[in-house]
Amino acid sequence: MAVGYVYNPIYLKHDTGQHVEVAARLEAIISHIEQTGLTSQLTLIEPRPATVAEIALVHRREYIKEIEEKAARGGGWLDPDTVMSAGSYEAALYAAGGLIRAVEAVMAGEVASAFALVRPPGHHATSRQAMGFCLFNNIAIAARYALAEYKLERTLIIDFDVHHGNGTQEAFYDNPRVMYISTHQYPFYPGTGSIEETGSGAAKGTNINIPLPAGCGDAEYLKAFEQIIVPAAQRFNPQLILVSAGYDAHRADPLATMEVSVGGFVQMTETIKRLADELCGGRLALTLEGGYDLNALAASVKATFDVLLGNSASDPRSNKRAT
């Protein structure tokens, strides 16, 4: 079955200047998968802009309007970490809509799995606040869309970005139809994600945080996957798996102090794909979150696609098996 990817140059219109979350991140990924011939094995999924109603599945309408008006005024800083430009509102609509299109393609059986290569990222954005480089919470919007559009009873979100997805946690903290599982460096930005945060009401136990100390690498992450994520997913038995794929836990990343290798991301993706095949007919959609060393990011995303395609996941920067 085909593997899809979402991309459009419109994501480059989110101009962040000298910020660490820059258009060059996507340019490095696209250049690398083109140079290695991978795009010929993938199905391009053209994104569409999410509607205001779709964004409002997660975000307050007055907040959406605030972002639109800020862009119309030329952009600016939203908090000490998060900046936007005149093109950012449109790019953010296409980022959320891009992941929705990935979900639509997966649910329709057009592709077995899909990876939305979008920006701005999303998992820190709350219902009323931009933060952590994020404007709209792409994965939360797509999950709410999938629940409503396809009448799903259970959707699983796995987040392996090095930072806790506080916005995604907030969106589903009291919703038993969505299980959110996050591996993240802790204590670290944004300060949430303790093991005690497990959900509320009928959703108690469906929010699973796996806080990890600085310096953890492949062994610690894979142990968390096998001992916590796999059995939790099997108990929840989702009908769709969504992934916040952040690669800033890589040992070369400048924003964190974890020690994950490209090979570690390969094994995490293999585990997630195995869960999707076992539990929900392979239905799997990923969206790009963090990852700020351009070489490590491009190598890790390429290796992720290799896993989805069933290729030998070699390290594209070294002619060696990813280690």
Predicted confidence at residue 314, as pLDDT, reads 56
Give the model's pLDDT for residue 1: 76
Residue pair 215/260 in contact (Cβ under 8 Å)? The answer is no
What's the average pLDDT block by block, 10 residues per block, for the chain (323 residues)? 96 98 98 97 98 98 98 98 98 99 98 98 98 98 98 98 98 98 98 98 98 98 98 98 98 98 98 98 98 98 98 55 40
When divided into structural domains, the chain yields a total of 1
- pLDDT computed for residue 312 by the predictor: 84
Known catalytic residues are: 124
| Structural domain span for residue 38 | 3-321
Q: CATH number for the domain including 130?
A: 3.40.800.20
